[in-house]
Amino acid sequence: MHDRAACIRNRSGGWDKNETEHRSTARSISVAAMARYRVVKYLVSALAFAALLSHVCLAENPCAGGPPVDTNPAECCPTPMIVDGSIMMDCYKMYGEQTKKQLQMEGIPRGCCIAECAMNATSMYVDGMLKRDDLAKMFMDAVKGKPEWMAVVRDATNACFDLADQKKDEIEAGAKLEPSFEGEKICNPISGTVLRCMGMMMFGQCPASVFVQSENCSKLREYGSMCPMI
């Protein structure tokens, strides 16, 4: 019954070595978890702040001019593809130009048709709703064999669905918008809200072992904490 002995004090009144090691490990895990939690809370706050930018003029919007450097985000942090790359490319070809134009528009944020297209292709979107459990499994399956990303993706998934819940009224309003230019398709914002959030949070939480430390990458990460990078 040595396992039981590891959970009780020894006769001298001190803790057994096994218990001491267990507590030390638990404290390390707790510290790491709290660190991730603080980063997630910061990024969720940044994303919530970014939503407010749609209500100010473009001259005051730091996202309007695009990223401050030409560096490709993948050069700074090669984040795993949580949605099949060929699906995303096909959807980008169909709706990329429309999405770029929509990001420059004021007022209620418009739904990202690239994201809705991808969610339709993976059967994760039905009638204005995302299949949360199935989508979370798909995201986690995408990082199997990448232990440095598993906690990041798990935390980001929970935070991004929480963000979507917070923005429920705005999302519903965006789904009811009318086309504002010829050929514009109106998509429900729920898919874009979650996928953009996932991309921003994964880039913002890029593991130290993966992130490239450079001035350009630091600037890009600061920009990416507030603005979508399509």
d(CA 44, CA 200): 10
Q: Does residue 195 form part of some domain?
A: yes
Q: In terms of residue numbers, what domain contains 166?
A: 75-226
Angle between helices 85-103 and 113-121 (to 10 degrees): 160
Q: Is residue 201 part of a domain?
A: yes
In a domain, 49, yes or no: no
CA angle at 164 for the pair 157 and 54, rounded to the nearest 5°: 120
Residue 159 CA to residue 139 CA, distance in Å, equals 13
pLDDT (tens digit per residue) in 65-92: 778 888 888 899 999 999 999 999 999 9
Q: Count Cβ neighbours within 10 Å for each residue of 120-137 and write b for 16 or more, e otherwise.
A: bbeebbeeeebeeeebbe
**Residue ranges with strand state E in 70-166:** 125-126, 129-130
Tens of pLDDT, residue by residue over 26-43, are 454 454 445 454 444 444
Number of folded domains that form the chain: 1
* pTM of structure: 0.70
* Residue 141 domain-assigned (yes or no): yes
* Residue 119 counted as domain residue: yes
Q: What is the CATH number of the domain that holds 197?
A: 1.10.238.270
d(CA 206, CA 221): 9
Residue 126 is assigned to a structural domain of this protein: yes
Task: For 164-220, write each residue's pLDDT tens digit.
Answer: 999 999 999 999 999 999 999 999 999 999 999 999 899 989 999 999 999 999 999
Query: Quick check: is 16 in a domain?
Result: no
Any domain includes 210: yes
